[in-house]
A and B are shown apart, each in its own frame.
Chain A
Amino acid sequence: GAGVSQTPSNKVTEKGKYVELRCDPISGHTALYWYRQSLGQGPEFLIYFQGTGAADDSGLPNDRFFAVRPEGSVSTLKIQRTERGDSAMYLCASSRGMNTEAFFGQGTRLTVV
C-alpha cells in the first residue's frame, strides 16, 4: 500500500479481554515501530523491530504487552488481560532502515470499558 495501515481503526473491549492490533508497514520497510499515545500526551515508545526480531522492547510497560513480526512485514501488538489504563491511541510507524525517516499510520484507538 501507499502508507502504513493499521487495523482496526477503533477497538472497544471489556476489561480483562485479550486484543490484537495489526500494522501493515510500507512495502519494503524493514524497521517497524509501535508507540502509544494517551489522551493529552505525546506518543511513548513501546518497541521496534528490525526485520523479524525485536531490536528494542524497552518501552513495553509490562508482560501483558507483546508484539510479533514473524515474516518481517506485518506486525501484531497483543495485549492480554486489558485494563482501563490501556485505553489509548496505538501508533505504528515503518522505515526503510533504522536510521531513515519513519512514516506513521493513523493509529488504532483502543478503549477498554
Chain B
Amino acid sequence: AQSVTQLDSQVPVFEEAPVELRCNYSSSVSVYLFWYVQYPNQGLQLLLKYLSGSTLVKGINGFEAEFNKSQTSFHLRKPSVHISDTAEYFCAVSEGSGGSNYKLTFGKGTLLTVNP
C-alpha cells in the first residue's frame, strides 16, 4: 500500500518570499506523483505531475517540484509567492502499474497562507 505524508499542515509566508511545501511518500512499486491546489469553495486543480523523465517538473503559476527517489520526496517550490497563491495544496501518488494513473492517494494537505 502507498501513503503520502505532508510534513506541514500550515505554512504562513510573506508575499514575494520563496516557499517550499514538503511531501514524502512510501510505496513498494514505482509511482507517479502529483500536486493539486484547492482554492476556497473550488474543486482540485492539477499544478504539476511527475510520470517519468526529468526529475524537475515545472507546473502552472510558477510552481515546480523535484522528484527525489532516494529520499522518496516530491517537494513543491515557488521562488516568489503572491497573495493569490493562498490555498490548500495536496500531494498525491498513484502506483501507475496497471489501472488508472489517476487512482490517487492524497496527503492531508498543506494550507499556504500568503500575507502582505
A62 beta carbon closer than 8 Å to chain B: no
Question: For the side of the interface on B, what is the size category?
Answer: 20 to 34
Task: Tell me which residues across on chain B come within 8 A of A55, comparing CB atoms.
Answer: 99-100
Identify which of A41, A98, A104 contacts B101 (C-beta below 8 A).
A98
* Cβ A42 vs Cβ B90 within 8 A: yes
Identify which of A43, A50, A98, A99 contacts B106 (C-beta below 8 A).
A43
Identify which of A43, A98, A105 contacts B104 (C-beta below 8 A).
A43
A40 beta carbon closer than 8 Å to chain B: yes
Contacts A56-B100, A98-B102, A99-B101 given; indicate if A106 touches B107 (C-beta within 8 A): no
Give 25 A-B contacts (CB < 8 Å), ordered by A residue.
Answer: A4-B43, A40-B108, A41-B108, A41-B109, A42-B92, A42-B106, A42-B109, A43-B44, A43-B106, A44-B106, A45-B103, A50-B100, A55-B99, A55-B100, A56-B103, A91-B43, A95-B102, A98-B102, A99-B100, A99-B101, A101-B49, A101-B102, A102-B46, A102-B102, A106-B41
Interface residues of B (CB under 8 A from A): 4, 41-46, 49, 90, 92, 99-109
